[in-house]
Amino acid sequence: MTTLYIVATPIGNLEDVSLRVLRILKEVDMIVCEDTRVTKKLLERYDIKTPTLSYFQHSGAAKTEQIIELLESGKNLAYVSDAGTPGISDPGGKLVEAVVERFGNEVKIVSVPGPCALIAALSISGFPADEFLFLGFPPHKKGRQTFFRNLAEEAKKRIVVFYESPHRILKAFEEVKNFAPDANLVVCRELTKKFETTYRGNPEKVIESLKTDKILGEFVIVVKGFVQKSKPQAQDF
Interface contacts to ligand SAM, rule CB under 6 A:
11-12, 81, 83-85, 88-90, 116-118, 163, 165, 188, 190-193, 218-220
Minimum distance, C-beta of residue 85 to ligand SAM, in the bound complex (Å): 4
Q: Judging by beta carbons within 10 Å of its beta carbon (0-12, 13-18, 19+), is residue 138 exposed, middle or buried?
A: buried
SS3 (DSSP) at 64: helix
Q: How far is the CB of 227 from ligand SAM (least distance, A)?
A: 27
Q: For residues 70 and 116, which CB has a smaller minimum distance to ligand SAM in the complex? A: 116
Q: What is the DSSP string of 198-226?
A: EEEE-HHHHHHHHHHS---S-EEEEEE-S
CB-neighbour burial class of residue 49 (10 A; exposed 0-12, middle 13-18, buried 19+): exposed
- Between CA 216 and CA 133 the distance in angstroms is 25
Distance CA 219, CA 163 (A): 6
Which residue from 130, 116, 58, 60 is spatially nearest to 84, judged by alpha carbons? Answer: 116
Cβ of residue 115: shortest distance to ligand SAM, in angstroms? 7
| Residue 71 Cβ vs ligand SAM, minimum distance, rounded to whole Å | 22
CB of 164 to ligand SAM, least distance (A): 6
Nearest residue (CB) to ligand SAM, 63 versus 193: 193
* CA gyration radius, the chain: 20
CA–CA separation, 3 and 143 (whole Å): 39
Q: Name the minimum Å distance from CB 5 to ligand SAM.
A: 16
Which residue is nearest to ligand SAM, using beta carbons? Answer: 84
Helix (H) or strand (E) holding 32: strand 30-33
**In whole angstroms, how close is the CB of 195 to ligand SAM at the nearest point?**
10
Beta-carbon contacts of residue 205 (< 8 Å; ≥ 6 apart): 199
